[in-house]
Amino acid sequence: MNNFDNNVNKSINQWFDATGKRLGFDVGYVATNSLWLYASTFVSALSAFVVAVVFARVLTPTNYGIYRFIHSVGGIISSFSLSGMNNAISQATARGDNIAMLVGVRYAFRWNVVVLVLGVSLSVYYYVQENSLLSVGIALLSFAYPFYLTYKLYAAYLVGLQNFKHLAFIHAVEAMLLTIVLVSAVFLINNPAVLIGIYYTTHLLFTYVLFRFFERTLLSDAALPENRPLFSYALHGSLMNVINPISYHIDKIVVFHYLGAAELAVYALAKAMPDQLKTLVNLSPLMIPRFAQRSASQISDSFWRKVGWLTAYSTLIVTAYYFVAPYLYTLFFPTYPESIFYSQLYAISLITVGASIPTAIYTAHKKIKLLYFQTNIQPLLRICLIVVLGYHFGILGIIAAITISRVLYMIASYVMFKIFY
């Protein structure tokens, strides 16, 4: 029996090796780790979907719109955190620096105070404007979110170890816990500000427990050394990413201020399912540690095959979603029929996901100048297009702006890789 099992395993590995050579990537690595990634993504997507369904049915469109708006405010102020520390820790850990997480957290604690200050300032602004609901919601977010972002760096440590199995399990448990807490809370409390506080506090407590667990496994009696290269690379990465979160959340801010909270609820639900699909087609978490271990010539040889397969894969998923979406929305969001058409249009933009491959390569090989250029093209264009087209054409204009910016970004990414790599 053992010989039979060994022969089967050997045959499978040989098939993975032969297929990988034809396709240009490590099929065994992707198959094994993507299984955990997709399992975690499925649980997270299902959990987010359940929360969206319950909230859409229990909360009024206005309250749900306010809830989504405060989330977007949190996303924008988080752009000023030390977000680049995630990639810095993953790369350092992948290269054998096992205490990079502990050193990185120390830097992140100091830097992320900026997020707290910005959040409190916005809360005071809305209080002065006599909007107590937004003021309280943003205040509750501000006192939890910066610490959550810091403790969440344990995930970067697991990525560096390529321990996707445990990371997937942790994310799945966190998603299920959050779903149980939020669904229970919304039947008792319909105040969007309080729900925001519950959301971020739950995240913070869960993340803190996990961080303390990994901290104990790594902590030694020796004092933690300064690691200026780690901080320097994290700072560069953070500065590159300042614009990107703003561009991702600016659409909700524009809808809220131009069209109102109820229309934001329609728009947020239109994006809900496609945004979960995006996590299914985005393989960057798997790519970065692998690219870090390969030379430029090895990457270049298989680049276009990777792009082709990822584009074909994303096209298949988006096409299936386009035809299934009307039935899903009729079943789960019957009071938001206007979200169907917007959701189908928005999903089309996900076909450009292949543009994430050059960025993953530059990140893995610390190509700072290319990353600065690469990560700022699409966000800047997206912000400008959303503000202009959103003002003139509403939700349709915003979806068009996102699609146009993603297509142009994809073209620019491939051209840059061809020229510089």
What contacts 331, CB < 8 A, 6 or more positions away?
Answer: none
pLDDT of residue 28: 47
13 by Cβ neighbours in 10 Å (0-12 / 13-18 / 19+) ranks as: exposed
Q: If you ran DSSP here, which 8-state letter would residue 307 be given? A: H
pLDDT of residue 238: 85
Backbone phi and psi for residue 122, each to the nearest 5 degrees, phi listed first: -65, -40
Q: Which of 243, 256, 252, 231 is nearest to 87 (CA)?
A: 231
Q: Which of 345, 385, 139, 349 is nearest to 250 (CA)?
A: 385
**Which of 13-22, 110-119, 235-244, 295-304 is predicted least confidently?**
13-22
Q: Which of 421, 278, 270, 411 is nearest to 353 (CA)?
A: 278
* Span 12-30, average pLDDT: 47
Residue type for position 70: I
What contacts 344, CB < 8 A, 6 or more positions away?
Answer: 321, 322, 325, 326
* Span 255-275, average pLDDT: 94
pLDDT at 19 over 50: no
Residue type for position 5: D
Contact 258, 390 (CB under 8 A): yes
Domain residue spans in the chain? 24-226, 242-421
Q: If you ran DSSP here, which 8-state letter would residue 214 be given? A: H
Which tens digits make up the pLDDT trace of 308-344?
888 888 899 999 999 999 999 999 999 999 999 999 9
pLDDT cut 70: percent of the chain above it: 83
This prediction has a pTM of 0.81
Q: If you ran DSSP here, which 8-state letter would residue 187 be given? A: T
Which tens digits make up the pLDDT trace of 118-151?
999 999 999 999 999 999 999 999 999 999 999 9
Q: Which of 271, 270, 274, 279 is nearest to 42 (CA)?
A: 279
Which tens digits make up the pLDDT trace of 367-401?
777 777 777 777 889 999 999 999 999 999 999 99
